Amino acid sequence: MAPISRLFDFIVIGGGSGGMACARRAASYGAKVAVIEGSGRLGGTCVNVGCVPKKVMFNGASIVEAIEDAKHYGITVDKHSFDWGFLKHARDEYVKRLNGIYERNLNKENVEYIDGTASFVSSTEIKVNDDVFKASHILIATGGHPVIPKIEGSEHGIDSDR
C-alpha cells in the first residue's frame, strides 16, 4: 500500500451541491477538508447537465416564443433569427463560469480540491490515482442515478444523464 499523502479532518467524495455545501461548512468551523470529484467539473448534475443548462435553453426558447406572440399584442418585430450554436456556446460558457465559482469558493474556504476517482483503502483512507488520503470523517456525496420505471410510456421520459 502507498504511504499516506496527506491527512485531513474530513474528506468529501463528490463535488455536487450537497458535497460542496458540507465541505465548505466543515471548513468554516476550522476542519482541514478535501473534496474529491472525478468528473473534472464541480457543481454536480444540476449545474453541469440538469437544472442550469435546461433553464438557459428554456429561457432562449421562451424569448423566441414571445417574439412570435408579439404580433398578438400590437408589437411588430420585423426580423429575428435564432442561432442554435450561439445559444449552446453561451450555455456552456455559463456552466464553465459556475464551475469556476465553485472552485474559487473552495479556495476561499481553504478546501483542497482533488480531481480524480476515489476508492476506499480502509474506513479512514481514500485512494485517488497513486495518492492515499486519510481522514477521521469521510462523506460519500456522489449523488445518484435515475431509475426508469418499467411502465407504459416510460420510453418518452427523459433524465439529465442522457
pLDDT in tens, 94-149: 999 999 999 999 999 999 999 999 999 999 999 999 999 999 999 999 988 888 89
Residue of 1, 19, 10, 2 whose CA lies nearest to 134: 10
Which residues is 35 bridged to in the sheet? 12, 113
Q: What is the per-residue pLDDT across 12-29, written as a single tens digit (0 to 9) for each?
A: 999 999 999 999 999 999
Q: Residue 5 above 70 pLDDT?
A: yes
